[in-house]
Every structure is written in C-alpha cells, then in structure tokens.
C-alpha cells in the first residue's frame, strides 16, 4: 500500500501522522503500519504513529496513537496537539473536543509559544490515582510519594493515570541508566503491572520549572512524553512541590511545554505542533516494512523556529 503522511513533532516527540479517516484498516493492520513507519531503521521513523480519525456525537474528530512496538496507547498529549492541528486544518475550525481511546480532551489553537511556532492548548484529565484501574497490585489503593516495593528501589513514586499509567519520581539528579532499568522492568509486564507503565524522573529546578525524563511504555527512553509532563505537573502539585493553578515551564530533552494543574485534577498544556515534512511511502504490511519514500514538501521555517526554542530550553 501507499501511505501519505506528515512527519511532525510535539516538543521533540516525533511521529508520522496519517489521515485515518481515509484508511480502512483492522487493528492488527494499524499495529503493523505503526511498526513499519515508526521504525528508526526505516525511511520515516518516529516514537509512534498518529492517526486523525472521525469524530462522534461528542467530538469533532478523534485520535489514535500507536507506539513504535505496535501497541495502542490510551493517549499521547504531544501527539494530540499534532492531530488537533491536522483536524483544525481539515475541518476549518480552531477549537474542538477530541476523542481519544478511553477519554476526551479539549483542544484549541493558542497564541504562539515563540515566533512562528504553531501552538495548541489542550486540557486533559482528570488525573486519576486509583491503582485498581491500571491495575497495579500490591501497593494499596493509591501511591503518593511512597516506595513501590515490587520495583526493587528505594525511590518514592507517585502513580498517576492520565489516563495512561505513569510512575513519577522526584529526584535531585536524573540518572538515565537507573531510569532505563526501572522502565525496562515495567516493560516486561510483570504480574503486578500487567499493562506496563511509563516511568519518569523529575527534577524541580525552581518553583516554576520542572525537567522531565521519561521511559515510555512501548517506546523506551524518549526525548519527550506529553502525558508524562502532565502527570508530573499534577504529581508535583499533589505532593506540594508546586502550587495548584500556577503556570510552570516543563522542560525536556526535546524542548518544553507550559503547564498548570488544577485542584480538580484537570491539567492544561500549551505546546507546539510542528510540521517537519510531508511524504508518501510504500508499506508492506505483511512484513511491517516501509520502502520507497517520496518527500513531497518540507517545512524548514517551522523546523528552524522550533530549533530556537529547543536550544534555549537546553
């Protein structure tokens, strides 16, 4: 099959994005398409695959997000901004409710974070603390700034569903080897965590600045994870490290977002939705392989505008 897509990113979290409204694929085929297009050794590459899908009675459009291993995520807030931009352009609107796998989120075009940076406001949640919904067993009903014995570490974690599951630890300094080890332990889907989880280490740089590094379920160590930044912001408020309702800058390896968490557990993110290039690629679904690629258009001005933001964030 031939597949047209936009290569895009939200805060450095990069994806091929396809218009799923025109594709009649089974769930298995979507997983195969994700593995083919997101393969870093292939012609496209990405942290996963995004699909703009049809709306419903509550939503103008929907989003599906598949990790690079083909598993489908409940949400991806960096990806949602990209899908929202595609939906706005397709439908000629600038705000909407978007349908996710297990929830809905409000999205709207927003004032640029920086010159020439297309910016989306997204409101997601409520963040949930009920461990039975993950499920995560053996840690009680909630885990807030407490050890998780099954992980085999003395680190204190806060468990937040956004609605995908996140384990957030606040650290003085991020040790990527330690983070990767803990993430890989969750990635094995042990009996106590059968659906796996995202694991984040978070530095509180000052009362208005967080730095987040995430081992993402189904992806691995990633430069950025939007739902992890939302979960980390909420966890920081919940544990008294920052104040509910206060705007904070959340830094990551890919750049930044602006965020705030409300006492009702809703989290607002302001971040980029950057187009990098558009292309058409042949895909062998049977073998999960992408082949011949044609680049149709490049968005060099957008790439340059975001590079200035990312360089300043670093």
Q: What is the pLDDT of residue 22?
A: 86
| Strands 209-216 and 156-161, sheet pairing | unpaired
Give CA torsion, residues 142, 253, 83, 280, to 10 deg.
-140
Q: Which of 3, 76, 82, 288 is catalytic?
A: 76
Catalytic residue among 3, 8, 186, 225, which?
225
Would you state the pLDDT for residue 79?
Answer: 96
What does the alpha-carbon distance between residue 162 and residue 72 come to, in Å, rounded to a whole number?
A: 15
Taking the CA atoms of residue 104, residue 106, residue 109 and residue 113 in that order, the dihedral angle to the nearest 10 degrees is -100
Residue 204 is predicted with a pLDDT of: 97
- What domains are there in the chain, each with its CATH number? 2-116+273-313 (3.10.310.10), 131-271 (3.10.310.10)
User: What pLDDT is recorded for position 305?
Assistant: 97
> What phi-psi label fits residue 265: left (phi over 0), alpha (psi between -120 and 50 degrees) or beta?
left
- Residues contacting 240, CB < 8 A, separation 6+: none
Give the per-residue pLDDT at 314. 74
Q: Above pLDDT 90, what percent of the chain?
A: 95
Give the pTM.
0.93
76 is catalytic: yes
**288 catalytically annotated:** no
Which residues in the chain show pLDDT less than 50?
A: none
Q: Tell me the CA distances in angstroms from 140 to 30, 113, 192, one per residue in order.
A: 36, 40, 12
* Tens-digit pLDDT profile for residues 201-220: 999 999 999 999 999 998 89
Whole-number Å distance between alpha carbons of 293 and 135: 41
The backbone region for 169, taken as left when phi is positive above 0, alpha when psi lies in -120 to 50, beta otherwise, is: beta
Residue 313: the pLDDT is: 80
């Amino acid at each position: 099959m031939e597949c047209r897509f936009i290569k895009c990113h939200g805060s450095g979290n990069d994806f091929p994005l396809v218009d799923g409204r025109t594709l009649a694929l089974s769930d298995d085929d979507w997983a195969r398409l994700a593995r083919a297009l997101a393969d870093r050794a292939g012609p496209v590459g990405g942290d996963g695959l995004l699909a703009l899908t049809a709306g419903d009675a509550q939503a103008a459009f929907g989003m599906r997000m598949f990790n690079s291993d083909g598993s489908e995520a409940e949400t991806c807030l960096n990806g949602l901004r990209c899908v929202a931009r595609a939906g706005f352009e397709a439908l000629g609107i600038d705000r909407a409710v978007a349908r996710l796998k297990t929830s809905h989120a409000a999205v709207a075009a927003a004032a640029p974070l920086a010159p020439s940076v297309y910016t989306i406001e997204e409101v997601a949640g409520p963040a949930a603390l009920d461990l039975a919904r993950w499920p995560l067993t053996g840690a009680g009903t909630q885990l807030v700034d407490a050890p998780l014995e099954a992980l085999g570490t003395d680190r204190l974690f806060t468990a937040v569903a956004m609605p995908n599951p996140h384990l957030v630890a606040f650290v003085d300094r991020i040790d990527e080897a330690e983070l990767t080890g803990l993430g890989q332990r969750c990635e094995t889907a042990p009996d106590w965590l059968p659906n796996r989880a995202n694991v984040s280490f978070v530095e509180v740089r000052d009362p208005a600045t967080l730095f987040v590094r995430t081992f993402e379920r189904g992806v691995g160590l990633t430069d950025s994870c939007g739902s992890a930044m939302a979960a980390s912001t909420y966890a920081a408020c919940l544990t008294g490290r920052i104040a509910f309702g206060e705007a904070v800058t959340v830094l990551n390896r890919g750049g930044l977002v602006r965020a705030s968490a409300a006492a009702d557990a809703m989290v607002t993110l302001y971040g980029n939705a950057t187009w990098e290039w558009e292309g058409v690629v042949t895909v062998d679904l049977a073998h999960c392989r992408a082949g011949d690629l044609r680049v149709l258009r490049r968005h060099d001005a957008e790439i340059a505008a975001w590079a200035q933001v990312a360089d300043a964030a670093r």
